[in-house]
């Protein structure tokens, strides 16, 4: 059974990040500027500023139809006909995320399951849920998946091009996708 992350996989989190970061820094921030998951390093912000930025980016008004990543809606609508759509997000508010997905997808609401867990704890939860594959844009979440024997699938983003040095060989071998429609090859249909 497949599970997915929300931000950077289903939802274009880079859009609010760029908007809010541009306001905060007074210079135009674009998606390709986000070369690392750690925003302090790539955007030159303090930790307090990054916390504030993430908080602003997770406000409900940013959950907009046009910020669903292209290809995602089509895949999830088709996939959700036969399988539950399981989302594990680090966002604290799983309810708002579920409401958003229910609005955006044609999948039956009871087939959409949204859970909230910090990146490092996603593996334990995914294991409990019986997931076999997990798609995420963050090395930390996927490391947690590998530790519990769940197949990691990396969703390609500018912030995951540089592979973590100690296990860069391992990361080279991890499947990387640019569009959720590439997931069909992992699914028995
Ligand atoms: Mg993410």
- Residue 7: φ, ψ to 5°: -70, 125
Secondary structure E strands in the chain = 2-4, 85-89, 112-116, 133-136, 151-155, 175-177
Asked whether the predicted pLDDT for residue 126 surpasses 90, the reply is yes
The alpha carbon of 28 and the centre of ligand 1 are apart by a number of angstroms equal to 23
In the chain, the percentage of residues whose pLDDT exceeds 90 is: 92
Among 6-15, 115-124, 165-174, the least confident range: 165-174
The alpha carbon of 82 and the centre of ligand 1 are apart by a number of angstroms equal to 24
Between CA 187 and CA 143 the distance in angstroms is 21
The alpha carbon of 110 and the centre of ligand 1 are apart by a number of angstroms equal to 23
Instruction: Report DSSP state, residue 68.
Output: B
Parts of the chain belonging to CATH 3.40.50.1000: 2-12+67-186
Fold of 2-12+67-186: Rossmann fold (3.40.50)
pTM of the predicted model over 0.85: yes
Contact between residue 109 and residue 130 where contact means Cβ atoms under 8 Å apart: no
pLDDT value at position 189?
46
Ion ligand 1 — residues with CB < 5 Å:
5, 7-8, 137
The alpha carbon of 101 and the centre of ligand 1 are apart by a number of angstroms equal to 16
Contact between residue 7 and residue 116 where contact means Cβ atoms under 8 Å apart: no
Between CA 79 and CA 189 the distance in angstroms is 10
List the end-to-end C-alpha distance of the chain, in Å, as a whole number.
12
Asked whether the predicted pLDDT for residue 165 surpasses 90, the reply is no
What is the pLDDT averaged over residues 92-105? 96
The alpha carbon of 6 and the centre of ligand 1 are apart by a number of angstroms equal to 6
pLDDT value at position 19?
97
The alpha carbon of 135 and the centre of ligand 1 are apart by a number of angstroms equal to 9
């Amino acid at each position: 059974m497949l599970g997915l992350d929300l931000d950077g996989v289903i939802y274009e989190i880079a859009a609010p990040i760029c908007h809010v970061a541009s306001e905060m820094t007074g210079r135009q921030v674009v998606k390709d500027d986000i070369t690392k998951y750690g925003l302090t390093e790539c955007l030159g912000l303090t930790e307090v500023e990054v916390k504030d930025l993430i908080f602003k980016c997770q406000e409900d008004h940013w959950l907009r139809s046009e910020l669903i990543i292209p290809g995602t809606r089509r895949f999830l609508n088709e996939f959700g006909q036969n399988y539950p759509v399981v989302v594990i997000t680090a966002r604290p508010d799983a309810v708002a995320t579920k409401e958003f997905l229910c609005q955006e997808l044609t999948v039956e609401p009871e087939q959409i399951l949204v859970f909230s867990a910090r990146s490092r704890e996603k593996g334990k939860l995914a294991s409990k849920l019986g997931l076999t594959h997990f798609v995420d844009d963050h090395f930390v979440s996927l490391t947690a998946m590998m530790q519990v024997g769940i197949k990691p699938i990396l969703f390609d983003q500018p912030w995951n091009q540089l592979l973590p040095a100690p296990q860069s060989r391992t990361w080279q071998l991890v499947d990387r996708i640019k569009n959720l429609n590439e997931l069909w090859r992992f699914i028995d249909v």
